[in-house]
Amino acid sequence: MKTPMMAGAALVGALWLGGCATEDYVNQHVAPVQAQVTDIQGQQQAQGTRIDQLDQTSKEALERATAAGKLAEGKFLYAMVLTDDSVKFPTDSSQLSDEAQTRLADFIAKLKADNKNVYVEIQGHTDARGSDNTNMKLGEERAEAVRLFMYRQGVPLNRMATISYGATAPVAPNDTREGRAQNRRVVVVVMA
């Protein structure tokens, strides 16, 4: 009777050891794969969250840009460009011609007649001849000449600002004399 019992115990022991070996095999080979799958799922979820956040940020940025564009459109009232033949600036000069002064005086009269709290941006431009630094300085001098003339005619300094574009914003090709003359200009922009 001892033999069948021992045989039964040996069979149960063998099955138990087989079960342990299978569990060890699973722990050694399947558990790391499962950990990798879980890690990848976590990364995908985190990336999905980041994409959602970026999408929301992009939507908000577009909404802000659209609102700013509408606001900026509402602020522009009108502009005057000093570019007629008799008004253009001579090469390397910021001096206002008599014609330019007359046109500016008419412009200032309109500005005062509108009687609005407006802001005036005076933009100085040059042709492409000369260095970038020289052109930026000359554009600023031209804008400043207009600002000082307007100030002497009663436009408050705190309502005006100057900016130089130098040769960076041409309205005509710089390879002809006429084109360069058109590019030597001042633009006066009135905003609410």
| Interval 131-187: pLDDT, tens | 999 999 999 999 999 999 999 999 999 989 999 999 999 999 999 988 888 888 899
Residue scoring higher pLDDT (46 or 142): 142
Domain ranges of the chain: 1-75, 83-191
Q: Is the pLDDT of residue 106 over 70?
A: yes
Percent of the chain whose pLDDT exceeds 90? 29
To the nearest 10°, report the CA torsion of 144, 150, 156, 161: -30
Tell me the fold of 83-191: 60s Ribosomal Protein L30; Chain: A; (3.30.1330)
Q: Is the pLDDT of residue 16 over 80?
A: no
What pLDDT was estimated at residue 99? Answer: 84
| Token couple for 107 | 């412009």
- Report whether 136 contacts 96 (CB < 8 A): no
Structure confidence by residue, pLDDT tens digits, 66-84: 655 554 554 777 777 876 5
CA 82 from centre of chain: 29
Strand partners, 121: 161, 189
- The mean of the pLDDT values for the chain is 79
- In this prediction the pTM is 0.59
Across 13-41, average pLDDT = 67
Residue with tokens 């564009």, as numbered in its chain: 69
What pLDDT was estimated at residue 57? Answer: 73
